[in-house]
């Protein structure tokens, strides 16, 4: 089975989820659950650090869109940090890079 | 040795429902049996017993005094005297009523299972018929004749019960212009088919209302966003929509297309060159209420094979399985390779463009390594033919 590991921490800007491994059809729902479980509050910034992401299929992209919509519904921000090149290419093709801000690494993403 | 009963125990008398006196010395063993049993006894049982000296576990039926039949298993052994002459036959009967009931139960169970299987097969066939009809409603039966352009389609699905989330269409807008689209819903099965159906008919209706590619995608975006907002699971959709407008001379077409989350179209020139027709920033359809869709335009001249629209699909569960099997982690999954194209009737070498376009997705459909681009699965390529 594919492996997915998600760790959560809190930064000054808001919750941070670090995603490791493969995000695919079988486990993308876990990211969605973790996103809704972050306790994101209005005005906060949800950071998804994808530095450890090894693979992301369309289900994973769907989970990122769902995270964006969750943040919007909470009147909060969302950023993606350390997006790997293959996933970044997909985000550009589908225009998602213009919707969700991207940061080169998790540290700059969590600077207030 | 003639079968006359010389001794009988109380149990057998009870089974038969007769008195001892009515049997001893008056009846032979065969008299206790049914007609069929008597025949079998004469033709098989007795000869075998004579030959072997014993016989075991033969199923027969006793006729009881009240007329009922009672299944038994019969075993006999011949007792010999000191001189070696046969003296008597000792026969033992086992009550086989439980066993018979069990056998009948097995037969009934088997019959029921058989009927259930037939029913399931009939249901399955009906379901497949229904799915085939639904699947056909998602794709055009035939492609229209576009003057100066040959259209053809090639479509392959691996399993008839996996309704596809892939769609394409070519249709006339008015006397001159034609519209085409191509897209994918990231999912399979009935849910994807529902989105596909909604998408197809929305695009067709929108194009007839306003023949502008971006406007068609905007209409689709509004419909899909309204439909799936709040569902918590918006299906991922990429779509390219284009309009073919004939130019001043036959075989020249202006292609204006808009993309929502789709990889850029590729224009294959008559001279063999290939170039992208970029549509940067075109957002996935249905994600945001006010999405922007990028448009691009190019002019196709005879011999060009424009624009080849490669639908780049991520690995779904089926491709994932193949991927795993390659790594030795699971059984080989379902192979699925939809690949469609609209191709020219005549080019300098009529079959080459089709072969090339078709081979490309096939070759690319190898399992991608983690993080690598996913394979192409769909090609749509309208191509003007050489002017007459």
Please give the pLDDT value at position B261: 85
Query: Which residues of chain A make contact with B314, given a CB cutoff of 8 A?
Result: 57-59, 61, 90
CA-to-CA dists, residue A40 to A10, A29, B254, B259, angstroms? 10, 18, 49, 33
Query: For chain B, what is the radius of gyration of the CA atoms?
Result: 39
Please give the pLDDT value at position B152: 66
Query: Which residues of chain A make contact with B236, given a CB cutoff of 8 A?
Result: 58, 61-62, 65
User: Least CB-CB distance to B372: which of A25, A86, A99?
Assistant: A86
Mean pLDDT computed over B271-294: 81
Check CB contact under 8 Å for B317 and A26: yes
Query: Which residues of chain B make contact with A27, given a CB cutoff of 8 A?
Result: none
B223-235 pLDDT tens trace:
888 887 766 566 6
Domain spans in chain A, listed from the N-terminal domain onward = 4-109
Reply yes or no on domain B10-95 having CATH 3.30.450.20.
yes
Cβ atoms of residues A19 and A49 within 8 Å: yes
| CATH superfamily entry for domain A4-109 | STAS domain (3.30.750.24)
Check CB contact under 8 Å for A58 and B313: yes
Mean pLDDT computed over A81-108: 87
- Count of beta carbons in the 10 Å neighbourhood of residue A107: 12
Query: Which residues of chain B make contact with A65, given a CB cutoff of 8 A?
Result: 234, 236, 284, 287
Best CA proximity match to A91, nearest among A66, A58, A42: A58
The pTM is what? 0.62
- Does residue A3 sit at the B interface (CB-CB below 8 Å)? no
Answer yes or no: is pLDDT of B342 > 60. Answer: no
What ipTM does this complex have?
Answer: 0.75
Q: What residue in B sits closest to A27 (Cα-Cα)? A: B317
Q: Is A110 strand, coil or helix?
A: coil
Please give the pLDDT value at position B305: 59
Edge-first strand order for the sheet with B178-185 is B166-172, B178-185, B237-246, B253-260, B294-300
User: Least CB-CB distance to A62: which of B186, B260, B262?
Assistant: B186
Mean pLDDT computed over B73-89: 90
Mean pLDDT computed over B59-86: 91
Confidence of residue B383 (pLDDT cuts 50, 70, 90): low
Confidence of residue B91 (pLDDT cuts 50, 70, 90): very high
Q: What angle do CA B183, B272, B309 make, to 5 degrees?
A: 5
Domain spans in chain B, listed from the N-terminal domain onward = 10-95, 104-138, 139-384
Please give the pLDDT value at position A95: 86
Cβ atoms of residues B383 and B146 within 8 Å: no
Confidence of residue A111 (pLDDT cuts 50, 70, 90): low
Best CA proximity match to A57, nearest among B122, B272, B323: B323
- Count of beta carbons in the 10 Å neighbourhood of residue B247: 14
User: Least CB-CB distance to A86: which of B263, B283, B373?
Assistant: B373
Structural class in CATH, domain B139-384: alpha beta
Check CB contact under 8 Å for B283 and A66: no
Rounded distance, CA B192 to CA B166, Å? 9
Interface test with A, best of B234, B279, B287, B317 (most A CBs within 10 A): B287
Please give the pLDDT value at position B359: 40
Q: Which residue has better confidence, B340 or B25?
A: B25
Q: What residue in A sits closest to B282 (Cα-Cα)? A: A95
Answer yes or no: is pLDDT of B1 > 80. Answer: no
Please give the pLDDT value at position B317: 33
| pLDDT, averaged across chain B | 75
Q: Which residue has better confidence, A66 or B352?
A: A66
Rounded distance, CA B360 to CA B221, Å? 31
Please give the pLDDT value at position B370: 38
Query: Which residues of chain B make contact with A86, given a CB cutoff of 8 A?
Result: 371-373
């Amino acid at each position: 089975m594919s492996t997915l590991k998600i760790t959560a921490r809190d930064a000054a800007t808001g919750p941070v989820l670090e995603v490791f491994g493969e995000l695919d059809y079988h486990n993308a729902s876990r990211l969605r659950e973790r996103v809704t479980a972050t306790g994101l509050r209005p005005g906060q910034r949800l950071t998804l650090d994808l530095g450890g992401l090894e693979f992301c299929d369309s289900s994973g992209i769907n989970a990122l869109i769902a995270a964006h919509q969750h943040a919007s519904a909470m009147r909060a921000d969302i950023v993606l940090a350390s997006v790997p090149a293959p996933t970044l290419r997909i985000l550009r093709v589908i225009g998602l890079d213009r919707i969700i801000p991207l940061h080169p690494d998790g540290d700059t993403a969590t600077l207030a | 040795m003639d079968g006359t009963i010389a001794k009988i125990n109380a149990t057998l008398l009870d089974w038969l429902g007769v008195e001892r006196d009515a049997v001893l010395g008056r009846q032979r063993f065969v008299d206790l049996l049914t007609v069929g049993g008597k025949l079998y006894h004469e033709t098989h049982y007795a000869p075998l017993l004579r030959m072997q000296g014993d016989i075991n576990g033969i199923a027969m039926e006793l006729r009881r005094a009240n007329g009922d039949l009672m299944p038994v298993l019969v075993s006999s052994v011949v007792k010999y005297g000191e001189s070696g002459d046969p003296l008597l036959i000792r026969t033992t009967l086992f009550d086989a009523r439980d066993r018979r009931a069990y056998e009948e139960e097995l037969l009934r169970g088997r019959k029921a299972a058989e009927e259930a299987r037939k029913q399931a097969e009939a249901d399955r066939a009906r379901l497949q018929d229904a799915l085939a009809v639904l699947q056909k409603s998602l794709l055009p039966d035939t492609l229209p004749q576009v003057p100066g352009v040959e259209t053809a389609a090639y479509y392959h699905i691996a399993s008839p019960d996996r309704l596809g989330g892939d769609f394409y269409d070519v249709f006339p807008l008015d006397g001159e212009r034609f519209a085409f689209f191509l897209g994918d819903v990231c999912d399979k099965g009935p849910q994807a088919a529902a989105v596909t159906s909604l998408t197809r008919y929305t695009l067709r209706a929108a194009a007839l209302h306003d023949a502008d590619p971006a406007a068609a995608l905007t209409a689709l975006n509004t419909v899909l966003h309204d439909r799936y907002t709040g569902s918590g699971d918006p299906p991922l959709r990429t779509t390219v929509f284009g309009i073919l407008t004939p130019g001043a001379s036959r075989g020249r077409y202006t292609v204006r297309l808009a993309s929502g989350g789709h990889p850029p179209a590729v224009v294959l020139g008559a001279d063999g060159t290939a170039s992208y027709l970029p549509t940067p920033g075109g957002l996935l359809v249905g994600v945001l209420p006010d999405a922007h869709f990028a448009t691009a335009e190019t002019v196709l001249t005879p011999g060009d094979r424009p624009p080849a629209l490669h639908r780049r699909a991520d690995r779904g569960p089926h491709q994932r399985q193949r991927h795993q099997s390659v790594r030795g982690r699971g059984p080989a999954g379902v192979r699925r390779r939809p690949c469609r194209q609209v191709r020219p009737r005549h080019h300098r070498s009529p079959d080459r463009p089709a072969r090339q376009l078709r081979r490309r997705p096939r070759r690319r459909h190898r399992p991608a390594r983690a993080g690598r681009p996913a394979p192409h699965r769909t090609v749509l390529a309208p191509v003007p033919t050489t002017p007459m």
